[in-house]
Structure 1
Amino acid sequence: MECKNQFVVPFGDTDAAQIVYYPNYYRYMDQATHDMFKQNDLSLKTLQNEKQIIIPLLEATCKFKTSLQHEDIVTVHSMIERVEGKVFHIRHEFKKEGDVLVAIGQEVRAWVSIAQASPKAIEIPEMIKRKMKGMDEK
């Protein structure tokens, strides 16, 4: 499962030097994950409301290669790299004009049921694993 999102860096995401303030990359990754699931017919809102499933973040990292600035056009290419039992790993590559690699982000997320009183990580269903691995059509 993967997707590409493109946007223009807004002024409000930058510091006084008009460079993107680093926490915004984590916000971009979170949005890219939500978009990837929605584009693959797994809307997180629907999963939560109809299946009582959420995908909380367990770990996030980002390695910065160069900076993004106000009005840069950035493309975030997100893909699920690994699916293991109750967790999955997502890679996010940030590139700006000229295919310049800006940053590489990683997320680890869990497949969690909220059907009971207390949230509990559960095995990712086989059908979902197949979709995540790109073995299923949309």
Structure 2
Amino acid sequence: MDKAYAGAFVGRTHHFALRVYFEDTDVAGIVYYANYLKFMERARSDMLRAAGIDQRAAIKAGEGVYAVAEVQIRYRTPARLDDELVILSELKEVRAASALIHQRVMRGPEIVAEASVTAAFLSLDGRPKRQPRDWIERFERLKGEAD
């Protein structure tokens, strides 16, 4: 598996850095609200990759795929053009067919936005399916590092 990813785990928290580009903002130079979901999606994908989960191989093998089933997001303060952000992602709960992930978009010590995301594991025809056992074990180990 490719080891060239942008983020890394610090304890049980995955850190993913990015910069706000012009394309991420509205005419006032403020990040458009929907783009926070894109930033968080990139961070979650990178977190899985850093945990040793190969989503592309799982799709190719017909095992299944993650899809966001629910998001609760709170916007606290706007991010702006050229801001350096870090998305912190923590696995909060692991179930047979889903995982609950808490994510915070940070600008230095300031929380810009935060969300709770439920990622469901689905068969390729879109039905809920048990996650691969070794994935659940990896998630439980990551979750347990702070316990």
Asked whether the two chains share a fold, i.e. TM above 0.5, the reply is yes
* 1:111-131 per-position Cα deviation (integer Å, ceiling 9, x unaligned): 1122xxx33212223322121
The question of whether the paired residues in 2 share the 8 Å contact of 1:4 and 1:75 is answered with: yes
Secondary structure of the residue that 1:120 maps to in structure 2? coil
CA distance in 1, matches of 2:81, 2:96: 40
TM-score (norm 1): 0.87
Which residue matches 1:106?
Answer: 116
Q: Are 2:82 and 1:71 aligned?
A: yes
**Pairwise CA distance, 1:132:** 1.1
**Pairwise CA distance, 1:85:** 2.2
For structure 1, list consecutive stretches of 5 or more residues without a partner in the other structure. none
Which residue matches 2:37?
Answer: 26
Map 1:78-117 → 2, pairs under 5 A:
78-97=89-108, 99-114=109-124
CA distance in 2, matches of 1:62, 1:135: 22
TM-score (norm 2): 0.82
The question of whether the paired residues in 2 share the 8 Å contact of 1:58 and 1:108 is answered with: yes
Secondary structure of the residue that 2:27 maps to in structure 1? coil
* 1:11-36 per-position Cα deviation (integer Å, ceiling 9, x unaligned): 11111110100000111111111111
User: In the alignment, residue 102 of structure 1 is paired with which amino acid?
Assistant: V
The question of whether the paired residues in 2 share the 8 Å contact of 1:34 and 1:43 is answered with: no
Number of equivalences: 133
The question of whether the paired residues in 2 share the 8 Å contact of 1:86 and 1:110 is answered with: yes
User: In the alignment, residue 105 of structure 1 is paired with which amino acid?
Assistant: A
Percent identity of paired positions between Structure 1 and Structure 2:
20
Secondary structure of the residue that 1:121 maps to in structure 2? coil
What is the Cα-based RMSD across aligned positions, in Å?
1.9
CA distance in 2, matches of 1:65, 1:122: 35
Decide which of 132, 135, 138 is 1:128's aligned counterpart.
135
For structure 2, list consecutive stretches of 5 or more residues without a partner in the other structure. 1-11
User: In the alignment, residue 82 of structure 1 is paired with which amino acid?
Assistant: E
Q: Are 2:67 and 1:60 aligned?
A: no
